[in-house]
């Protein structure tokens, strides 16, 4: 009894290839949508009392959906990531230290104010406008990053930073939807500069 | 077969993995939707597992579908049944699933929508407004106080300002009262040191508003919950510094009011958030439901294929097995799928094929036995010197052995199935044989026995022939078996034996009295010839002379007989036959120069192993016989030819003696070898008889015939060595037949 062999496999193979193509096309994120953005406009560091402190200016532009979510009481997380990278001559550079500073932006309906909360320290400030809140959020002044004593290397170090805006604390049921939408999580490019001793 | 098993195993493994992944995906989906932390950890895995599970199932389904379509196109047995079952299973599984899906989606959407009503929303907004109204009264009061104290502070020195601020804090219940100068410098402050470490700095928006000479008030949410009221008012007209001063005062909101406001605010925020997330939530849950449905649907369809295949497989095997049995393959054994009805059917099929195989083996054995018997019989018949021919009732040859063909001069083995009378046309021996058979059959005799004498070109053949009818199942005659044997040689041998006996007796009985007769006659002659008168003496002389002469002649004849009868031991030596031929022939060339004797001797003729004396006598007799035959003929010519030949593995030396004399007399040519058969005026008639005897003593063969162009030809074949002689002796009974057949074919 001869079973279908080559022809059937060929048909199946072609169908699989077509299916794979469709899946790949469907997987493509919805590029070109009206989305938010975040960028590090400037950053620098200075050594004050043996500690490297960072001054930076960031610009946050929230997408319409993020704004709607914020107005509806959904908190938005802002994470500043710092990496101190050790320069090495004959090997790949090494991440010597990492620091993460987390903020939360939320809207208080009763007071009609935008609250910016530092989740590392628990401190918070409220602002009458979103512009003020984002402006304050984007202004980093003298943020201690690393102790100079920890950096002992002749080759020097450099620092890079970036900001990530996302909706990590979104209700669980919505995460399936959020997972597929890149405007729920936006990330800036790394901004890098040499660490002056 | 191994590749098929491997492929089936891989498909099953893939299906198992796919189903397992699908189930895992559903579980993960269920779990991760409930827990935020787990979602963070498992969301990627969940989606990957879902995707892989669905892709595997889709690939499997496509493979199954393609195979089904292929089977249907190729009309594979059971494909239609499988297609119908798959369609039925899919119909049974898909319809309920789609119904459940539809109603679940409906219930889900409506259920979620039912959470949100305009009444609730309005109520929450009203509560929020109420809370705001309640707080705004306090905010306004606090702002008025701040403005009033700011007006007072215009006229105070810095030292008095500090005291005034302390009094103000006590009077108003403020948490903190601070006067900021230019660049937010703290000019004077009063605050609860147990609560704050440093005074709260002015915010940008507050300073902006103050710069426009407008008092500032805001309701600030606190980190630990609750609210505080921040107020600020400009202190204008300060002549001491010429700059702008700001009085900022922070007022607490009562704990109860804060708690209530918090509750209202949280409830409102939750509600708004839920409202905002309603559509994504519905989409999420619908997506989850869809994924569950898709996985279930794909699993159901695959299950339909799987179970259809399981159900149809035994039927397909049965069909294939039946075809195999129909094609003669009785060794087909199907695997028993289960102990249900189909299993019983398969077991019965296996039992049937087993029995068929056993029966076929038995039939094959018996057929092999019959074939072996038949082969044995054929070998026996082939080896028999007796001819055996079986005929149909219409004299069509059914079987014939080699000897039959040899005796009758026709290759009957190659003419099986043909009518014997048709074959006999133009073949005298067979024609006579058929005529005899026909005579008996025409007379209704089916069982007969007769000695037949057949006369052909090469001589007389005497056959003993017996015919027997073959019985048929219905009692009629199914044909005949004719068994016949060529007894020509036997009769000849008997005749030779008789002549040998005669010769011995003659030699013994006649030779003895001849000497006394001769002696007596000579004595009479010596004693009375001189004493008798001339007339009587002449009579006596003639009489005794005749007696002596005739006695001499009788002696010669008796000696010839004696020579014919005697059989001394053979003295086998190896010698050159060609040289012996030349020696003998040279004598005759000298004696009879008028006869032209030519030799055509084969230079390749090997030295033969024979009794040289007997061969010499043989050649003498042949030469003498030829020369005597040519006596009185002017153009007498004798050709003597030798050749090296091979027959049936025996190396032969042939001697052919031809002459252009009168040839043998009409009649059986074989009789020329009988004693006293001669066509010549001279001779004893024993010459060729002795040649034949000598040839047969060597195991050779001799044949005599008349040449077509006139004259006689005698052909002698002598074995060249002992081994060939053995071969020739072994085939002695059939030798003459082969020679005849060769001639017949030629």
Model confidence at A161: pLDDT above 90: yes
From B274, B300, B333, give the residue that closes a domain.
B274
Closest-CA distance of chain B to residue A123, Å:
7
CATH of the domain at B634: 3.30.565.10
For chain A, the straight-line distance linking the first and the last C-alpha, in angstroms and rounded, comes to 82
User: Could you tell me which residues come within 8 angstroms of residue B719 by beta carbon, excluding any fewer than 6 positions away?
Assistant: B608, B609, B650, B651, B652, B653, B698, B699, B700, B725, B727, B728
Alpha carbon of B270: minimum distance to chain A alpha carbons (Å): 7
| pLDDT at residue B443, rounded to an integer | 84
Chain A interface disruption, residue of B41, B79, B277, most A CBs within 10 A:
B277
Is residue B371, in this structure, part of any structural domain at all?
no
Q: B557: closest CA among B510, B610, B513, B614?
A: B510
From the list B70, B77, B283, the residue facing A4 with the nearest CB is B70
DSSP letter string over B279-314? Answer: HHHHHHHHHHHHHHHHHHHHHHHHHHHHHHHHHHHH
Task: At B365, list the tokens.
Answer: 């054995």
Closest CB to A173 among B270, B275, B281: B281
Same domain, B83 and B110: yes
B18-27 burial string, b = 16+ CB within 10 Å, else e? bbebbebbbe
- How high is the pLDDT of residue A28? 43
pLDDT range class, residue A103, cuts 50, 70, 90: very high
Q: What CATH number did the domain enclosing B393 receive?
A: 3.30.450.20
H/E run at residue B133: helix B118-153
* Contact between residue B390 and residue B479 where contact means Cβ atoms under 8 Å apart: yes
Same domain, B481 and B538: no
Over residues B601-638, the pLDDT tens digits come to: 999 888 898 888 888 888 888 888 888 888 888 888 99
Residues in chain A, how many? 197
**SS3 for A10?**
helix
B565 versus B467: the higher-pLDDT residue is: B467
Contact B76 A3 (CB under 8 A): yes
List the single range of A9-13, B261-265, B274-278 with lowest mean pLDDT: A9-13
Residues B574 and B706 in one domain: yes
Residues B215 and B303 in one domain: no
Over the stretch B675-703, which tens digit does the pLDDT of each residue have? 666 666 555 667 888 888 888 888 888 88
What is the secondary structure of B505-558 as a DSSP string?
A: HHHHHHHHHHHHHHHHHHHHHHHHTTTS-HHHHHHHHHHHHHHHHHHHHHHHHH
Q: Do residue A126 and residue B221 have CB atoms under 8 angstroms apart?
A: yes
> Hey, which residues 112-131 in chain A have their CB within 8 Å of chain B?
113, 115, 117, 122-129
Domain shared by B656 and B678, yes or no: yes
Q: How confident is the model at residue A3 (pLDDT cuts 50, 70, 90)?
A: very low
Burial of residue B271, with CB atoms counted within 10 A of its CB: 0-12 exposed, 13-18 middle, 19 or more buried? buried
- Tell me whether residues B39 and A8 touch, CB distance under 8 A: no
Q: Are residues B527 and B622 in the same domain?
A: no
Q: Does A129 sit within 8 Å of B205, measured CB to CB?
A: yes
Q: Where are the domains of chain A?
A: 36-195
SS3 B235: strand
Q: Do A3 and B67 touch (CB under 8 A)?
A: yes
B666 & B545 share domain = no
A11 and chain B: CB distance < 8 Å anywhere?
Answer: yes
- Provide long-range contacts, Cβ within 8 A and 24+ apart, for A42-47: A43/A140, A43/A159, A43/A161, A43/A191, A43/A193, A44/A193, A45/A145, A45/A159, A45/A193, A45/A195, A45/A196, A46/A196, A47/A148, A47/A196, A47/A197
Going by DSSP bridges, is the β-strand pair A185-187/A157-166 parallel, antiparallel, or unpaired? antiparallel
Nearest CA in chain A to B273: A72
For B33-53, write each residue's pLDDT tens digit. 555 455 556 656 666 777 777
* Rounded average pLDDT over B733-740: 43
Provide the domain count of chain B.
5
Shortest CB distance from A69 goes to which of B67, B261, B276? B276
User: Best residue in B230, B265, B284, B315 to probe A by mutation, most A CBs within 10 Å?
Assistant: B284
Separation in Å, CA B662 to CA B429, B591, B621, B712: 26, 21, 18, 7
Q: pTM of the predicted model, to two decimals?
A: 0.50
Same domain, B457 and B509: no
Q: What is the pLDDT of residues B559-579, one digit of tens each?
A: 777 777 666 677 888 999 999
Which of B563, B553, B677 lies closest to B618 in space, CA to CA? B563
For B318, which residue in chain A has the nearest alpha carbon?
Answer: A1
Same domain for B143 and B244, yes or no, is yes
Residues in chain A closer than 8 A to B316 (CB atoms): 1
Give A13 or A194, the one with higher predicted confidence. Answer: A194
Q: Residue A128 and residue B32: Cβ atoms within 8 Å?
A: no
Distance between A135 CA and the closest CA of chain B, angstroms: 11
Rounded to whole angstroms, what are the CA distances from B740 to A84, B162, B405, B694?
Answer: 120, 164, 10, 22
A197 in B contact zone (CB under 8 Å): no
Among B436, B459, B486, the domain boundary falls at B486
Q: Smallest CA–CA separation between B323 and chain A, in Å?
A: 9
DSSP class of residue A83 equals E
Chain B touched by A70 (CB under 8 Å): no
Q: Which of A160-169, B229-238, B412-421 has the highest mean pLDDT?
A: B412-421
Query: Do B31 and B57 have their domain in common?
Result: yes
B11 CB contacts (<8 Å, ≥6 apart)? B60, B63
- Cβ A110–B40 below 8 Å, yes or no? no
* B657-667: pLDDT as tens digits: 999 888 887 66
Least confident residue range of A24-33, B117-126, B256-265: A24-33
CA distance B216 to A166: 33
Q: What is the dihedral of CA B565, B570, B574, B580, to 10 degrees?
A: -20
Closest CA in chain A for residue B323: A1
**Contact assignment for A8 to B40 by CB distance below 8 Å:** no
Angle between helix B255-276 and helix B278-326 axes, rounded to 10 deg: 40
> Cβ–Cβ of B59/A16 closer than 8 Å?
yes
**pLDDT for residue A115 is more than 90:** yes
pLDDT at A183: 54
B550 and B635 within one domain? no
- Beta carbons of B219 and A111 less than 8 Å apart: yes
Q: Are residues B417 and B461 in the same domain?
A: yes
Tokens 């193979």 sit at which residue? A13
Q: Is residue B365 part of a domain?
A: no
Residue B549 CA, distance from chain mean position: 92
pLDDT at B240: 47
* pLDDT tens digits along B150-201: 888 877 777 788 888 888 888 888 888 998 888 788 888 888 766 666 777 8
Cβ(B686)–Cβ(B560) below 8 Å: yes
Percentage of chain B exceeding pLDDT 70: 88
CA neighbor of B114 nearest in space, from B280, B273, B282: B282
Alpha helix positions (H), B249-277: 255-276
From the candidates A2, A5, A8, which should be mutated to test the interface with B, based on the most B CB atoms within 10 A? A8
Nearest CA in chain A to B35: A172
Asked whether residue B631 is domain-assigned, the answer is: yes
Query: How far is Cα of residue B42 from the mean position of the Cα atoms in its chain?
Result: 56
Q: How far is B311 from chain A (nearest CA, A)?
A: 17
CB contact under 8 A, B284 and A111: no
What CA–CA distance (Å, rounded) separates A6 from A15?
A: 14
Give which of B291, B282, B349 is closest to B316, Cα–Cα. B349
Span A45-51, average pLDDT: 90
Element (H, E) at B452: strand B448-456
Q: Which tokens sit at B137?
A: 């009264």
Q: Which of B253, B274, B295 is the last residue of a domain?
A: B274
Domain membership of residue B196 as a residue range: 139-274
* Residue A59, pLDDT above cutoff 90: yes
Q: Please give the ipTM for the structure prediction.
A: 0.74
Q: Phi and psi of B692, rounded to 5°?
A: -60, -40
Q: State pLDDT tens for residues B356-382.
A: 888 888 998 999 999 999 888 888 877
Give me the sign of the Cα torsion angle A42, A45, A48, A49: positive
User: How high is the mean pLDDT of chain B?
Assistant: 81
| Contact criterion met (CB < 8 Å) for A125 and B203 | yes
B70, B204, B309, best to mutate vs chain A, most A CBs in 10 Å:
B70
Say which of A4, A19, A123 has its CB closest to residue B223: A123
Q: Is A41 an 8 Å CB contact of chain B?
A: no
Copy the structure tokens of residue B299: 């699993």
Give contacts of A173 with chain B, Cβ < 8 Å.
Answer: 33, 277, 281, 284-285
Looking at residue A183, the DSSP 8-state letter turns out to be G
Q: Where are the beta strands (DSSP E) in chain A?
A: 37-48, 51-61, 76-86, 94-108, 113-118, 124-127, 139-147, 157-166, 185-187, 191-195
Q: Give a yes or no: residue B728 inside a domain.
A: yes
What's the pLDDT tens digit per position in B82-103?
Answer: 888 888 888 888 888 888 888 9
């Amino acid at each position: 009894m001869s079973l279908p062999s080559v022809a059937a496999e060929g048909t199946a193979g072609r169908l699989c290839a077509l299916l794979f193509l469709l899946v790949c096309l469907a997987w493509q994120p919805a590029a070109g949508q009206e989305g938010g953005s975040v960028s590090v406009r400037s950053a620098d560091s200075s050594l004050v009392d043996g500690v490297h402190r960072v001054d930076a200016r960031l610009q946050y532009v929230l997408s319409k959906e993020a704004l709607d979510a914020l107005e509806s009481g959904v908190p938005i997380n802002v994470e500043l990531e710092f990496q101190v990278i050790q320069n090495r001559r004959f090997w790949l550079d090494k991440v010597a230290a990492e620091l993460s500073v987390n903020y939360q932006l939320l809207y208080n309906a009763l007071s009609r104010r935008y609250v910016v909360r530092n989740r590392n320290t628990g401190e918070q400030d409220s602002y009458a406008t979103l512009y003020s809140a984002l402006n304050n959020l984007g202004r980093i002044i003298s943020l201690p990053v690393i102790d100079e004593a920890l950096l002992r290397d002749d080759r020097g170090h450099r620092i890079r930073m970036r900001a990530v805006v996302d909706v990590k604390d979104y209700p669980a049921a919505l995460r399936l939807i959020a997972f597929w939408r890149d405007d729920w999580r936006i990330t800036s490019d790394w901004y890098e500069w040499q660490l002056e001793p | 077969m191994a590749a098929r098993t491997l492929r089936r195993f891989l498909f099953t493994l893939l299906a198992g993995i796919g189903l397992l992944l699908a189930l895992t995906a559903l579980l993960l989906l269920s779990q991760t939707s409930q827990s935020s932390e787990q979602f963070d950890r498992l969301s990627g895995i969940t989606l990957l597992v879902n995707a892989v599970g669905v892709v595997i199932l889709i690939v499997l389904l496509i493979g199954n579908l393609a195979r089904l379509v292929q089977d249907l196109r190729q009309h594979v047995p059971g494909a239609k049944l499988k297609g119908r079952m798959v369609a039925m299973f899919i119909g049974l599984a898909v319809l309920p699933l789609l119904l459940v899906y539809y109603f679940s989606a409906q219930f889900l959407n409506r259920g979620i929508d039912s959470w949100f009503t305009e009444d609730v929303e309005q109520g929450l907004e009203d509560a929020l407004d109420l809370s705001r109204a309640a707080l705004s009264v306090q905010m306004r009061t606090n702002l008025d106080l701040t403005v009033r104290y700011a007006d007072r502070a215009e006229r105070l020195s810095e030292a008095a300002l500090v005291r005034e601020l302390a009094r103000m804090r006590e009077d108003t219940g403020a948490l903190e009262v601070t006067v900021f100068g230019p660049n937010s410098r703290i000019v004077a402050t009063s605050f609860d040191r147990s609560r704050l470490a440093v005074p709260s700095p002015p915010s940008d928006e507050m300073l902006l508003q103050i710069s426009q000479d407008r008092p500032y008030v805001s309701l600030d949410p606190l980190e630990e919950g609750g609210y505080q009221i921040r107020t600020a008012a400009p202190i204008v007209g300060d002549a001491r510094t010429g700059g702008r001063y700001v009085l900022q005062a922070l007022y607490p909101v009562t704990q109860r009011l804060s708690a209530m406001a918090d509750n209202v605010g949280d409830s409102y925020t939750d509600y708004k958030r839920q409202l905002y997330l309603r559509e994504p939530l519905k989409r999420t849950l619908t997506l989850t439901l869809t994924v569950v449905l898709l996985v279930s649907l794909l699993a159901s369809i695959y299950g339909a294929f799987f179970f259809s295949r399981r159900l149809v497989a035994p039927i397909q095997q049965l069909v294939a097995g039946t075809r195999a049995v129909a094609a003669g393959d009785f060794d087909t054994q199907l695997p028993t799928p289960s102990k249900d009805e189909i299993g019983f059917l398969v077991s019965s099929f296996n039992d049937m094929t087993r029995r068929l195989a056993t029966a076929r083996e038995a039939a094959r054995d018996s057929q092999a036995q019959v074939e072996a018997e038949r082969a044995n019989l054929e070998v026996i018949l082939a080896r028999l010197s007796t001819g055996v021919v079986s005929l149909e009732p219409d004299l069509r040859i059914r079987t014939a052995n080699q000897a039959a063909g040899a005796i009758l001069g026709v290759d009957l083995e190659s003419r099986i199935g043909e009518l014997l009378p048709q074959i006999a046309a133009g073949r005298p021996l067979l024609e006579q044989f058929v005529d005899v058979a026909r005579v008996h059959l025409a007379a209704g005799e089916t069982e007969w026995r007769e000695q037949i004498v057949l006369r052909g070109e090469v001589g007389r053949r005497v056959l003993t022939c017996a015919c027997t009818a073959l019985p048929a199942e219905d009692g009629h005659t199914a044909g005949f078996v004719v068994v016949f044997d060529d007894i020509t040689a036997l009769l000849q041998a008997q005749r030779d034996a008789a002549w040998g006996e005669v010769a011995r007796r003659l030699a013994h009985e006649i030779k003895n009295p001849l000497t006394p007769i001769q002696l007596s006659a000579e004595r009479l002659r010596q004693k009375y010839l001189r004493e008798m008168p001339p007339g009587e003496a002449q009579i006596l002389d003639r009489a005794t002379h005749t007696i002596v002469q005739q006695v001499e002649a009788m002696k010669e004849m008796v000696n010839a007989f004696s020579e014919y009868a005697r059989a001394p031991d053979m003295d086998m030596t190896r010698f050159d036959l060609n040289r012996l031929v030349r020696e003998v022939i040279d004598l005759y060339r000298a004696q009879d120069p008028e006869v032209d004797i030519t030799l055509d001797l084969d230079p390749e003729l090997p030295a033969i192993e024979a009794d040289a004396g007997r061969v010499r006598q043989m050649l003498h007799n042949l030469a003498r016989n030829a020369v005597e035959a040519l006596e009185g003929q002017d153009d007498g010519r004798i050709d003597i030819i030798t050749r090296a030949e091979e027959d049936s593995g025996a190396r032969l030396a042939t001697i052919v003696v031809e002459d252009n004399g009168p040839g043998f007399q009409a009649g059986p040519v074989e009789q020329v070898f009988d004693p006293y058969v001669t066509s010549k005026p001279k001779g004893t008639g024993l010459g060729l008889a002795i040649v034949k005897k000598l040839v047969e003593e060597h195991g050779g063969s001799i044949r005599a015939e008349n040449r077509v162009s006139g004259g006689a030809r005698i052909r002698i074949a002598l074995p060249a060595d002992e081994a060939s002689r053995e071969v020739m002796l072994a085939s002695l009974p059939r030798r003459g037949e082969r020679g005849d057949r060769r001639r017949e074919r030629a």
